[in-house]
A and B are shown apart, each in its own frame.
Chain A
Amino acid sequence: MAGESSLRKGRKAPYALIGPGMLWLILFFLVPMWTLLRIALSEKPNAFLPDYELTWRWANFSDAISRFQPELIRSFTYAGVATILCILIGYPLAYFVAFKAGRFRALLLGLIMVPFFTSFLIRTIAWQTILGQDGPALGVLKALSLVSVTDAIGLTSNGAFLNTPQAVIGGLTYNFVAFMILPIYVSLEKIDPRLMEAARDLYSTPAAAFRKVVLPLSLPGVFAGTLLTFIPAAGDYINAELLGNVKTGMIGSQISKLFLKESNYPEAAALSFIFMAIITVGVLVYAKILGTEELSA
């Protein structure tokens, strides 16, 4: 009998362990999601009151898509470009820290992290000041009479940094690049340097050794970094609000406006759902293309 009861206890233990986590998910994920879905299917009877009533109006979704299509496309485009820039900046940096930095490795990792002790909002406001019409960046360009050059290469438009897509994408890149560097660094750091020697020994040039051995083994880091960068960047509205203008609005700004200014809860909820659905499908497709095989290795 004693054995049986301990066996039963043994079976219950895993459920007991995931219990708190499950409760958390039900309370703070499933319940809000269900509430959000009900709001998304509601109607707003009075344009001037925040009230809504559940009428199962599925057309809310199609309405949101047709009304905010430009912002949706813009969000994913800006986030996509920022993510690619993060890979281009972050991968070489992570590679350097992992393989070439020697005793400065910890110092460099610290320096990458230091800006993130300041709030996201404050850092973005700082960029607003730096890039502003009377800010130091434009001041230097003007002093050197380079504004026409930067206009031509698209770094500025009409002699200004701010209120451009470039500024928003730059802000997103700056704010999220650390989330790209760290996972790539972790995956590179795990690679046994002898694998590179083995590739060199087996007739690969340094470039071929990188392409055939280091790059494939670091893809899980790139995958993780992309998710950590792309998803929050696509949903971000601080950068679009502070560094952009009406023409650079992203989906986050629209949701916040619908919710806080127009008090149009059903449409805000529907738009949130569409955004989540696109992200989820995108991530699954991305994992299928890049992730699964490498991640299982």
Chain B
Amino acid sequence: MTVSEKDNATPSLSQRRAVIEIDNVSKVFGDYVAVEHANFTIHEGEFFSMLGPSGCGKTTTLRMIAGFETPTTGAIRLEGSDVSRVPPHKRDVNTVFQQYALFPHMTVWDNIAYGPRAKKLDKAETARRVDEMLEVVRLGDFAKRKPTQLSGGQQQRVALARALVNYPKALLLDEPLGALDLKLRQGMQLELKRIQREVGITFIFVTHDQEEALTMSDRIAVMNAGRVEQIGTPREIYDRPSNVFVAGFIGQANLWPATVKGHKPNATTVEVAGRTLDVSQDDSALGVGDSGTFMVRPERMYVEQQLSDESRWTVVGTVAEMVFQGPVVRYELVLPDGAHAVAHVPARREGLPVPGDTVHASWADDAGVLLADPHNASPATSSNTSSNTSPTATEPEPKETEQ
């Protein structure tokens, strides 16, 4: 299945100029399909992420944009001109590599000056740009050091400056924060956003960390097994995933088998967990009698012994487990048909149901989403690293360098 871009979802972006167009691009290594019919457009000044598990094709797509790989079929256009077969040194895009790939025999200054010198800019302009970039990444005092004398976070910023100093049409970032520890990574996420706002350059960011993608991106392309599953803003992807894989990969989700019973104007009637209820979406590809998957996010669920709001949809279940997680309490419920439900409830001090209690699990009308693909044998809740929807998702991809 190929999901094409939903431009109407982000009207402000669609009016901007297209910087990179991925036009029906596929990449095959031997008999392994790394990327299959990818189609999307990245706009000027956008922070665009490619998100997916190991081997989903995100790094291969990035390497094709950089010029290290050539598409097997399809075309990559940079500001309108086809660059599919243009070698990397003739493309106006620059890469921040995983593990940085700084030149160990050069100082920080010379590392950053590498691109301007290769482009034969005059000395004064090179020096002006390098010094400017050292300011942007706040490394002015480290210009004379060698990369090995810097911390991981500082090396990261040198790599960023080395790429940005060329004022590329797009900056490609290949899991740039993967080598940093959690605290530093969170700091660098904000730093990257700040720098992107400052320089206004299009960023294309590859990551397997859904939280990172949600935090930083204007739009995200969720990829799996070589295919682009969905493209949209973090909010759209989180609230309206287009299929079971996206629902399970981004955040946590209750995914229950659902059978379509009928269509109403602006709603679809489905049978879920032994109940009949309406989902306020009528664009479903499903006909009467088809089976799909019903999704509710755990934090959208209420768990109460006395239902407080009759307008919500409700299932009755038994509390199987209750785990205090700080800001929230995580409930695991067993529904009458044997299905499980997970709910995250604000950790109030009083009146929380305990294991064994019979409770109402309820959600507001707009919290339920009907997904067209049938539910498989995966557990009710998928963690963010699961890739259980496709048997090929865990196959190694030859050119991926993720660790």
Partner-B contacts on A (CB < 8 A): 192, 194-195, 197-205, 208, 212-213, 216-217, 294, 297
Contacts and interface: CB of A to CB of B under 8 A. Distances in A.
A204 B91 CA distance: 11
Given A203-B89, A203-B166, A204-B89, A198 B119 contact: no
Interface in B151-194: 162-163, 166
A203 B105 contact: no
| Highest count of chain A CB atoms <10 Å: which of B68, B104, B166 | B104
Given A194-B99, A195-B104, 16 more contacts: A194-B97, A195-B101, A197-B68, A198-B95, A198-B97, A198-B162, A199-B103, A199-B114, A202-B118, A202-B163, A203-B90, A203-B118, A203-B119, A203-B166, A217-B105, A297-B104
B87 interface: yes
Contact of A205 (B89, B98, B101): B89
A67 B329 CA distance: 96
B88 A201 contact: yes
Nearest to A296: B146
Interface of B: 66-68, 87-90, 94-95, 97-99, 101-105, 114-115, 118-119, 146, 162-163, 166, 401
A208 B97 contact: no
B88 A213 contact: no
Binding site secondary structure of chain A: helix
A208 B68 CA distance: 17
B103 A198 contact: yes
B95 A201 contact: yes
Contacts of B67: 200-201
A197 B101 CA distance: 9
Given A195-B103, A297-B104, A201 B94 contact: yes
A188 to B, nearest CB: 14
Given A201-B66, A201-B95, A208 B101 contact: no
Nearest to B92: A203
A202 B105 contact: no
Nearest to B94: A201
Nearest to A196: B101
A104 to B, nearest CB: 19
Contact of A202 (B87, B146, B166): B166
B121 to A, nearest CB: 10
Contacts of B68: 197, 200
